[in-house]
Structure 1
Amino acid sequence: MAVASRLDTGKAFARVILPTLAKGVVQRRRPVTALAGKVRVDAAAVATMKRFRERYGPEPLRLRVTGRSIALLLDPLDVARLLAESPEPFALATTEKKAALEHFQPHGVLISTGAERERRRAVNEDVLRPDKVDVRAIVADEADLLLRHVRGTGRLTWDSFAQAWWRAARRIVLGSFAREDVELTDMLQTLRGNANWAYLHPRREALRQRFESRLREHLARGEPGSLAGLGSVDELLGQVPHWLFAFDAAGIATMRALAIGGAGEAGIWESVRLWPTTPVILRESTEPTRWHGTWLPERTTFIVFVPYFHRDPDRLPYADAYAPENWPAPSDPGLVPFSGGPGICPGRDLVLVAGGAMLDALRDHLAVPTLRAPLPATLNHFELTFVTRRDD
C-alpha cells in the first residue's frame, strides 16, 4: 500500500480536505460557498484525487500525518467494503465527527456506539418512514403558499425557498404548532455553525440547553400527524436535532434539483449525486484491519471524498450530466449519496419523498432548467434564482 509523499499529503489537505471543511460540513458558510464556486474548488479536488490514483494505484493512500494513521480511499470497491463493515470494525463515531456533532446532538445515533447505537438506530429506522406521516400533503401546503409568494414577486430565491422548506420541515418533524417557531431552527443553525469548528470552538452549553428545552416542549405535545407523535420524548429528544439538520441538506438538494430540471425522487437522487450534501464520509477502525495485503492499525481514519466517486469521468460516462436512470439501484458501488451499509441514512426515503414532492410542486411553475451538461462541479445554492413561467 502506497504512502503519499509529503508534497502530495499537503495537496490532499490543501485541495481536497481543507476546502471542503471551509465551506462548512455541518452548516454551509455562505461567503465561502460563493468563493468555492468562483474558483472551482470541487473540480480541482476531483482532479487531485484522479492524479493520486494514477500515481499511486487504486489501493487506499496513506497520508503522512505525524501521530495519526489516515487513509484516503481511491477505489469504489474499497468504499463498498468500508460502508458494509460499519460500525464494526469501521466505526461511524470518529474523533472528528464526535467533536463536531456534540455541539448540538451529543446523543445522536451517528456518534453513538455499541448497544446504545443499536437502540437509537432502531428508533430512527422505525420513526423515519414516509408512510407514517402525510409528508406529501404537508409539503404541498407549503409549496402552494410559496408559489403565491413567487407569483407576486416574479421569482424564487434561495431565501424564500428556505423559509417555506423550514416551515414544512418543522411541521413534519414537530407538528403544525411548531410551524412558525423560527427561533428554534435559528438556535440550531447557530449551534451547527459552531459545530463546523469541531473541537476548535467552545461548546455553548447554555444555548444548547435552551434549544433542547424548546424542543422538549414541542415533543411533549406528541402532535398527531408528525414524527413527534411516533415516540417518547426521551427517545426522540436526542435524535430530532439531526433530523432537522438533515432537512437543511434536503432543501439544498431540492433547490439544486430545480436548477437541472429534475423531477420527482430521481431528481433528488441525482442532485445529491452531482453535488453531495455530505461530501466526506469518515470511518475509524476499532481494530487493526487488512487492506490488499497491508495491515492498518487500530484507530485509522478512513476518508471517502464523495465528489470524486460521483464525478469521475474515467469511470462514469454520465459524470457531469443529469442521469436519473441510475436510481434507485446504481450499478457503481462508488455512488453513495446517502452513505451505505448499516450506516446508511435512516431518513433517506423520507427526504426523497419530501424533496421530490416539493420539486414536482414547483418545477412546472418556474422557468427551468437553467443548467446543461457538462454540469459544474460546484453549485452555489445560495445564488440560485428562478423566474416564473410567462404562462403561469
Structure 2
Amino acid sequence: MAISSRLDTTRVLSTVLLPTLAKGVIVRRPAVMSLAEKLQSDASAVETMRGLRDRYGPEPVRLRVTGRSIAVLVDPTDVGRLLAESPDPFALATKEKKAALRHFQPHGVLISEGAERERLREVNERALRPGNVPVEDIVRDEADLLTRHVRSTGELTWDSFAQAWWRIVRRIVLGDGARGDDQLTDDLKALRGDANWAFLHPRRRELRERFERRLGEHLARAEEGSLAAQPGDLATQIPHWLFAFDAAGIVTMRALAIGGRGTHGMLESARLWPTTPVILRESRTATRWHGAWLPEDTLFVVFTPFFHRDPDRLPYADRYAPEIWDRPLDPAIVPFSGGPGVCPGRDLVLATGAAMLDVLGEHLELPALDAPLPATLNHFALRMQATPAGTRVS
C-alpha cells in the first residue's frame, strides 16, 4: 500500500480536495465557481492525480493526515471494486456525508444503513420510475415558455434556464400546485448552503421546520401525475430528490453549451463536468487492498474528474464524445455513481434533462463550445446567443 509523502499530501489537499469543498459539494457557490473557472482548477487537480499515479503506481495512495485514514484511488479497477462492494463493507454513509446531510435530510437513503437503507432504497426505486410522471408533457410546457423568453432577449442564460427548470422539478415531484412555490426550493437551498459547512455550521431548526411544513402541505394533496402520489415514506426522501434535480439542471445547461442532445448529451455533460466530483466510501472493517491492510473506518476517495478526463487513458477526454455510451465503458466513468449505490433517480433525471435538450433544440440554435473543452465550466456565467432554429447562417 503506497503512502504519500507530506509534499504529495499537501498537493492533494490544496489542489484536489480543498478546491472541491470550496466550490460547494451540496450547493455550488457562484463566486468560487467563477474563480475556479478562471484558474481552471479541475485541470490542476487532474494533473495532481496523474502525478500521484505516476509516482506511486496503481495502488490506493494513503494520505499523511492526522486522525483519519484516507485512501485516494488512482486505478479504475479499484473504483469498480469499491462501488461494487458498497454498502458492505464500503458504506455510503460516511461521517462527512452524515454531517452535511443532517442539515436538510437526516433520514435520506444516502446516509441510511442496514435494513433501513434497504427499505428506503426500495421506496426510492419504486417512486422514481420515469413512467410515474408525464415528464415530456411537463418539460414541453415549461420549455415552450422559456423559448419565447429567449427569443425575446436573444440569449439563454443560467438564470432564465434555472427558473424554468425549477418549475419543471416542482411539478414533477409535487404536482402543478407547487409550480410557483419558489420559497420551498429557496428554503431548501439555504439549508443546503449550511450543509456545505457540514460539522462547522449549526443546524437551523426553524428554517428546516418551515421547509418541512411547506413540503407537507404539497404532499397532502398527493397530486396525481406527480411523484408525491407514489406510496411510501416520501417526506424524508424528497429533499434529496430536489437536491439531485439541482445537479441535473447544471448538467442540462452544460449539455446545451456543448450542443448535446438526448440521453447521450446528458451523460457526456456529466462525464465532462461531474456534479459529484468526489465519491466517498467508508470501510466498516479492516480491508485488504493489493496485499496490504487498511484499517477500519478508512475513508476512500474517488475524484471523478480525474477518471472522466484522464488523457492518458481516454483519447476523447476533452471533447464531446456521445458515441462512447453505445459500448462498455471504463469502470471509473460513473456520472451517476455505480454498483448498489447507483443513483436510484438516474433514469428519471436523464429523461427530464434529455427532454429539455430536445425541446429547446427544436426551437433554438445555440453556439457550442469547441474542443478541447475546459476542465472547469462555470454554469452560472453561461450566456448563449440564441436564434430561432433553422435561421442561423453558417
Same fold (TM over 0.5): yes
Deviation at 1:385, TM superposition (A): 1.1
How far off its partner does 1:362 sit? Answer: 1.1
Per the alignment, residue 145 of structure 1 pairs with: 145
| Percent of residue pairs identical | 70
Task: Name the aligned partner's letter for residue 195 of structure 1.
Answer: A
Q: How far has the Cα of 1:334 moved from its partner?
A: 1.0
Partner of 1:387: 385
- Aligned partner of 1:54 in structure 2 is 54
Aligned position for 2:88:
88
- SS of 2:384's equivalent in the other structure is strand
What is the CA distance between 1:312 and its match in structure 2? 0.2
Aligned-pair distance for 1:182? Answer: 0.3
Give the structure 2 partner of residue 131 of structure 1: 131
Q: 1:388 Cα shift?
A: 2.1
Report what 2:17 is aligned to: 17
Q: What are the residue-to-residue correspondences of 1:8-47 with 2, within 5 Å?
A: 8-47=8-47
Which whole-Å CA distance do the structure 2 matches of 1:319 and 1:255 have between them?
20
CA contact (8 A) 1:365 1:388 kept: no
Specify every segment of 5 or more residues in structure 2 that has no aligned partner in the other structure, as ranges: none
| 1:160 corresponds to | 160
Q: Distance in 1 between matches of 2:152 and 2:348?
A: 31
User: What do residues 302-324 of structure 1 show as CA deviations (whole Å, max 9, x unaligned)?
Assistant: 00000000000100000001111
Partners of 2:45 and 2:296 lie apart in 1 by: 28
Residue 136 of structure 1 deviates from its aligned partner by 1.0
For the 8 Å contact 2:151–2:387, the answer to whether it is kept is no
SS in 2 for 1:236: coil
Match of 1:275 in 2: 273
Deviations 1:63-121 (A, max 9, x none): 01112110000000000000000000000000000000110001100010111111000
Tell me which residue corresponds to 1:335: 333
Structure 1 counterpart of 2:252 = 254
For 2:296, the equivalent position in structure 1 comes to 298
CA contact (8 A) 2:367 2:385 kept: no
Partner of 1:240: 238
Match of 1:348 in 2: 346
Q: Which of residues 297, 309, 312 in structure 2 aligns to 1:311?
A: 309
> SS where residue 131 of structure 1 aligns?
helix
Aligned-partner Cα distance in 2 for 1:303–1:380 = 24
Q: Give the 5 Å matches for 1:104-119.
A: 104-119=104-119
Task: State the alpha-carbon separation in 2 of the partners of residues 163 and 368 from structure 1.
Answer: 19
Question: Matches of 2:130 and 2:242 in 1, distance apart?
Answer: 15
Scaled by the length of structure 1, the TM-score of the pair is 0.98
Distance 2:251 2:35 in 1: 19
User: In the alignment, which residue of structure 2 is the partner of 1:7?
Assistant: 7
Is the contact between residue 281 and residue 299 of structure 2 (CA under 8 Å) also seen in structure 1?
A: yes
Does structure 2 retain, via aligned residues, the 8 Å contact 1:172–1:226? Answer: yes
Instruction: Tell me whether 1:286 sits opposite 2:274 in the alignment.
Output: no
- d(CA) in 2 for partners of 1:291 and 1:21? 27
- How far 1:330 sits from its partner (Å)? 3.7
Distance 1:276 1:328 in 2: 19
Alignment correspondent of 1:363:
361
The superposition leaves residues 314-357 of structure 1 with CA deviations (integer Å, 9 ceiling, x where unpaired) of 00000001111122654211100000000000000000000000
TM-score (norm 2): 0.97
Aligned length: 390
Do the aligned residues in 1 keep the contact of 2:337 with 2:343 (CA within 8 Å)? yes
* Separation (CA, whole Å) in 1 of partners of 2:344 and 2:324: 21
Q: What does the per-residue CA deviation read over 1:363-390, in whole Å, with 9 as the maximum and x for residues that have no partner?
A: 2433433311111100111111122215
- What letter is aligned with 1:43? A
- Look up the SS of the partner of 2:26 in the other structure: coil
Greater shift in the superposed pair: 381-390 or 119-128: 381-390
Q: In the alignment, residue 376 of structure 1 is paired with which amino acid? A: P
Instruction: State the partner residue of 1:227.
Output: 227
Q: Is the 8 A contact 1:158 1:382 kept in 2?
A: yes
Write the distance in 1 (CA, Å) between the matches of 2:132 and 2:315: 38
RMSD: 1.0
Q: How far apart, in 2, do the equivalents of 1:4 and 1:141 lie? A: 54
Alignment partners' CA distance in 1, 2:207 and 2:194: 11
Matched, 1:65 2:91: no
Q: Distance in 2 between matches of 1:337 and 1:331?
A: 12
Range 147-156 or range 97-106, more displaced: 147-156
**Corresponding residue of 1:171:** 171
Give distance in 2, aligned partners of 1:388 and 1:52: 43
Structure 1 residue identity aligned to 2:18: L
For 2:197 and 2:211, how far apart are their aligned partners in 1? Answer: 19
| CA distance in structure 2 between the aligned counterparts of 1:40 and 1:381, rounded to whole angstroms | 13
In 1, Cα distance between equivalents of 2:362 and 2:43:
31
